[in-house]
Amino acid sequence: DIQMTQSPSSLSASVGDRVTITCRASQSISSYLNWYQQKPGKAPNLLIYAASSLQTGVSSRFSGSGSGTDFTLTISSLQPEDFATYYCQESYTTPRTFGQGTKVEIK
């Protein structure tokens, strides 16, 4: 199985901050990397697919980059509704695996 490791596991930030979350795969996954946002009590929501493509309806303050083994999710200016847990997920092979999550909290 491919292991997906996110860092940090949690972070505290203020409204307006630029936030970056990283995800590292245990082997190359090309650009088969997705990012999801999950708010408490809710299902995950797809933000970014294929490493850098913005899902329809998602704010342009979210962006993704990377290929191979190293990927980043960036929130350009953190908004109150962005406080949530973020997961990366590889789709290069079976089983599809998720990172352990990064919780973004209010400072």
Partner 1 sequence: QLQLQESGPGVMNPSETLSLTCSVSGGSFNSYNHYWGWIRQPPGKGLDWIGSMSSSGDTYYNPSLKNRVNISVDTSKNHFSLNLNSVTATDTAIYYCARHTIERSWDGFDDWGQGTLVTVSS
Query: Which two three-digit tokens encode residue 22?
Result: 């990283």
Q: Which stretch binds partner 1 (CB under 8 A): 11-19, 63-71, 75-83, 97-105?
A: 97-105
* Residue 19 main-chain phi, psi, to 5 deg: -120, 135
**102 binds partner 1 per the rule CB under 8 A:** no
Burial class (CB within 10 angstroms; exposed 0-12, middle 13-18, buried 19+) of 60: exposed
Closer to partner 1 at the Cβ: 44 or 82?
Answer: 44
Hey, is 80 helix, strand or coil?
A: helix
By CB under 8 A, residue 91 contacts partner 1: yes
Would you tell me which residues interact with partner 1 (CB under 8 A)? 1, 31-32, 34, 36, 42-46, 49-50, 53, 55, 87, 89, 91, 94-101
